[in-house]
Structure 1
Amino acid sequence: MDDITDPANLPRRKLSREERRLQLIEATISVIAENGFARTTLGEVARRAGLSHGLANFHFESKEKLLAATLDHLSDEYRANWQAALAVAGPHPADRIAALIAADFAPVICTPDRLAAWCAFWGEAQSRPLYQAHCGSNDAEYQRLLDGLCRELLALGGYPGDAVRMARVLRVTTEGVWLDLMTMQAPYDRDEALATVWAVAAAFFPRHFGPEGRLTV
């Protein structure tokens, strides 16, 4: 017989406060993906998490606070993902651009529920001020980094073009294929989405990128 005093056998109600918050945030991502931003409710999130409405209200007090916490979680997760990719990339700007591109299609980030949640926060008018308040600085940091890497690669490779515009095209291409992937009848899979972004990188930097990503030169 199991020893009920063993921590491994304690009921799930013994989860820590932070674990409960994360449980509710993950449920929120799932509910947004299924119901959309406007039709997500605190009650439905609690039900999806297998918790009482009162417990959800205890942790977040309102739908608005829950949505803000969910957006913070997604933003922090996204930033940690690309920073981890850069940490193991080589020093060459092409290696670092490749790391940023590939990071956007990592399985932990590029999931149907997460893509749908991101698109909901981007696309619905009522969420735009919330998005800008919680993600604007992270977006600006990422864009400055990508601008700088494109500028370095232009100089090293002797390529023509405008680094800021190239970085912008890489970013909006990624966002565009994310939008494609979140449709109910996605026209292609994650590998093809990544290959689409590699094709753009190859068009700008043909000696450093090809159809399958970074070229060795």
Structure 2
Amino acid sequence: MTRPALQTDPRPPRTLSKDARRAQLIEATISTMAEFGYSRTTLTAVAKRAGLSHGLVLFHFDTKENLLSETLDFLSEEYRANWQAALAAAGDRPEAQLEALVRADFNPVICTRDRLAAWCAFWGESQSRPIYQARCGSNDEHYNRVLEGICAEMNLRHGYSHDPARVSRLIRISIEGVWLDLMTMAAPYATEEAMATVWLGLSALYPRQFQPLT
């Protein structure tokens, strides 16, 4: 006797693990911040975006401040893991490491409109700055030290004489600047153009290792 094939229920599960539910709410928070900004993001708005009850958001995060702080932690850790993985795969040549760091910032997982808008929200409103410094300051310092070290190594290996601190700062603010352009221009250019803009700066700083992207 042939048994009928089992049918797979296409509907999502009614319940999720605690970690999965928290991840869902953090993604909803990122999306809500992208639309409303930092101060106008509320637990009610996040619950509505996630399709869940206000009480469930309270159960997982207690307060809006906790939810926003943990959202910032998530973004910071996602960003750190992204650039460190890119750097680990780049090998020991400083030009390959520099290329890896720049390309990592335009990874389509990281460089999305919602994520850029959420970063801008945390950067731009005064009430979020103490939270940002407390949560992200050490990660930022680590990234800056790594980037400066790569620029110093470019001098040693390739005969440049740039000030590593200033050059690394220039590269960093170039990336952050095109990120801001992507969020604030009425008709923003494509992500590929944003990276090409940063690349033009690299080609001016290190012309023997980098050529402008076409």
TM-score range, shorter chain: over 0.9
* Structure 2 unmatched runs, 5+: none
Matched, 1:130 2:131: yes
Q: Paired residue for 1:95?
A: 96
Structure 1 moving runs of 4+ over 3 Å:
1-4, 8-11
Secondary structure of the structure 1 residue equivalent to 2:127: helix
Secondary structure of the structure 2 residue equivalent to 1:166: helix
The answer on whether the counterparts of 1:31 and 1:48 sit within 8 Å (CA) in structure 2 is yes
How far is 1:10 from its partner? 7.5
How far is 1:183 from its partner? 2.2
1:146-195, CA deviations, whole angstroms, 9 ceiling, x for partnerless residues?
00000000121111220110000000000000000112624311001001
Distance 1:212 1:90, change over 3 A: farther
Q: Paired residue for 2:122?
A: 121
Distance 1:184 1:200, change over 3 A: closer
Count of residue pairs brought into register by the alignment? 211
What amino acid is aligned across from residue 187 of structure 1 in structure 2?
A: P
Distance 1:53 1:210, change over 3 A: same
Segment of structure 1 superposing worse, 69-78 or 202-211 = 202-211
Secondary structure of the structure 1 residue equivalent to 2:66: helix
The answer on whether the counterparts of 1:41 and 1:63 sit within 8 Å (CA) in structure 2 is yes
Q: Paired residue for 1:206?
A: 207
List aligned pairs for 1:76-91, cutoff 5 A.
76-91=77-92
Q: Paired residue for 2:24?
A: 23
In the alignment, the residues of structure 1 paired with residue 12 and residue 173 of structure 2 have an alpha-carbon distance, to the nearest angstrom, of 46
In the alignment, the residues of structure 2 paired with residue 2 and residue 28 of structure 1 have an alpha-carbon distance, to the nearest angstrom, of 40
In the alignment, the residues of structure 1 paired with residue 195 and residue 80 of structure 2 have an alpha-carbon distance, to the nearest angstrom, of 19
Q: Paired residue for 1:178?
A: 179
What amino acid is aligned across from residue 79 of structure 1 in structure 2?
A: R
TM-score, with structure 1 as normaliser: 0.92
Secondary structure of the structure 2 residue equivalent to 1:14: coil
* Alpha-carbon RMSD: 1.8
* Structure 1 unmatched runs, 5+: none
1:15-65, CA deviations, whole angstroms, 9 ceiling, x for partnerless residues?
100000000000000000000111000010011001100000000000000
Distance 1:184 1:22, change over 3 A: farther
How far is 1:200 from its partner? 0.9
Q: Paired residue for 1:59?
A: 60
The answer on whether the counterparts of 1:2 and 1:9 sit within 8 Å (CA) in structure 2 is no
In the alignment, the residues of structure 2 paired with residue 71 and residue 2 of structure 1 have an alpha-carbon distance, to the nearest angstrom, of 46
In the alignment, the residues of structure 2 paired with residue 155 and residue 84 of structure 1 have an alpha-carbon distance, to the nearest angstrom, of 24
Matched, 1:46 2:47: yes
How far is 1:14 from its partner? 1.6
The answer on whether the counterparts of 1:180 and 1:186 sit within 8 Å (CA) in structure 2 is no
TM-score, with structure 2 as normaliser: 0.94
What amino acid is aligned across from residue 202 of structure 1 in structure 2?
A: S
The answer on whether the counterparts of 1:105 and 1:190 sit within 8 Å (CA) in structure 2 is yes
Matched, 1:69 2:70: yes
1:68-114, CA deviations, whole angstroms, 9 ceiling, x for partnerless residues?
00000000000010011112112100100100000000000000000
